[in-house]
Amino acid sequence: MLIAADRTIPFLRGALDALGEDVRYFSADEFSAGKVKDADVLIVRSINKCTRKVLEGSRTKLITAASVGFDHIDTEYCDQAGIVWRNAPGSNARSVAEYVLACLTVLALRNGDRLDGKTVGIVGVGYVGKEVERLCEAIGMKVLLNDPPREDAEGAKGFVSPDTIAAEADVITFHTPLTRKGKYPTIHLVHNDFIEKLCRHPCLINAARGAVCDTDALITGRKRGKIGALVIDCWENEPHIAGELLTIADITTPHIAGFSADGKANAVRCCVEEISRFFNLPETRREEALRRIRLPHPFRPLIDMTDFPDRRIERAILTVFTPHTIDMSLRQDPSSFEALRSQYSHPREFSAYSILNATPEEALLLLRLGFSIP
């Protein structure tokens, strides 16, 4: 069996070595029909476009994506050609949720504001949306949920309409896949008509897929004051992002919300599991491959609350992750979008950190957010 894998996927090499198969690594620039034609398995990132042009005539039997999204895979052609494809749903859900909370924390501190008591509208309540819901409720926010497919399946209780979110939310964050067909397409969910209905000048966050938001509508809405703040991690036409949107957004990152070390490791585990299952590999090889996926220890695993003079909960959150550095790097050189992604220093999640000298009230809240209390 020949496995062709993107060489920039973290934690992959050691795991694949343990599977005992022939592995060929490629860069994004090298991903082509000629490179993959002899591969039985492809392990890809979202930047590796698995189109009919690339796949036709290959001997590929399985595509595993080390990502949640799968819009980079021509699933219709794969189904026709008998190529099985798998993504890694939920692998980076916690990472994205912590990114959202960190960005909201930055904005709250910047504006001298607080998050508790604010209303957040979550559009798309799957793996990621549920984690965002948990963190926002823990921090004291009121949560509104919008997810038409879930509402159809589960009933209307607990869900609200987009109009309700537009009218009542102080923050609106999007966590849907990108779909162009079906009953509820998500392409350009944020458009001029939706923005016109916004009543509370909310902060809008796109940490889903770029085309979930119409770029021109975002720019117009921000300039007119309908949108109070913009946090953009996912962009239309990545990596060729809109310069004007980059300029007017409050926080900008190069599609790295789900790039925690924990999330990346989870995605590689999914790939190993799918390959092992599909080819019925020996259990011992699968277990050894999973064992070799080792997460790095945080540089500062102990967070001492006495280090912070004020707003101690917020500052503990930003000790784990703050978007400031990568935001500045993207603004200084937008053409480095993909380089910033591939060279990103993947942070650990809250669960990797222990809190010292918290008050009982702080300890309870930090535990709910996912931190450890020794």
Per annotation, catalytic residue among 45, 72, 255, 348? 255
pLDDT of residue 242: 97
pLDDT of residue 299: 87
- pLDDT tens digits along 352-362: 999 999 999 99
The domain segmentation of the chain, as residue ranges, is 2-87+260-291, 93-252
Respond yes or no: is residue 273 known to be catalytic. Answer: no
- pLDDT tens digits along 83-98: 999 999 999 999 999 9
Per annotation, catalytic residue among 21, 30, 168, 238? 238
Per annotation, catalytic residue among 45, 175, 209, 341? 209
pLDDT of residue 361: 97
The answer to whether 93 and 127 have CB atoms below 8 angstroms apart is yes
pLDDT < 50 regions, the chain? none
2-87+260-291 and 93-252, same CATH topology: yes
pLDDT of residue 28: 84
pLDDT of residue 20: 72
CATH number belonging to domain 2-87+260-291 = 3.40.50.720
CATH of the structural domain 93-252, one choice from 3.40.50.720, 3.40.50.300, 2.30.42.10, 3.40.1010.10: 3.40.50.720
Compute CA 71 distance to the chain's CA centroid, rounded to the nearest angstrom.
Answer: 14
Respond yes or no: is residue 288 known to be catalytic. Answer: no
Respond yes or no: is residue 209 known to be catalytic. Answer: yes
The three-state DSSP-derived secondary structure of the chain is: CEEEEECCCCCHHHHHHHHCCEEEEECHHHCCHHHHCCCCEEEECCCCCECHHHHCCCCCCEEEECCCCCCCECHHHHHHHCCEEECCCCCCHHHHHHHHHHHHHHHHHHHCCCCCCCEEEEECCCHHHHHHHHHHHHCCCEEEEECHHHHHHHCCCCCCCHHHHHHHCCEEEECCCCCCCCCCCCCCCECHHHHHCCCCCCEEEECCCHHHECHHHHHHHHHHCCCCEEEECCCCCCCCCCHHHHHHCCEECCCCCCCCHHHHHHHHHHHHHHHHHHCCCCHHHHHHHHHCCCCCCCCCCEEEHHHCCCCHHHHHHHHHCCCHHHHHHHHHCHHHHHHHHHCCCCCCCHHHCEEECCCHHHHHHHHHHCCECC
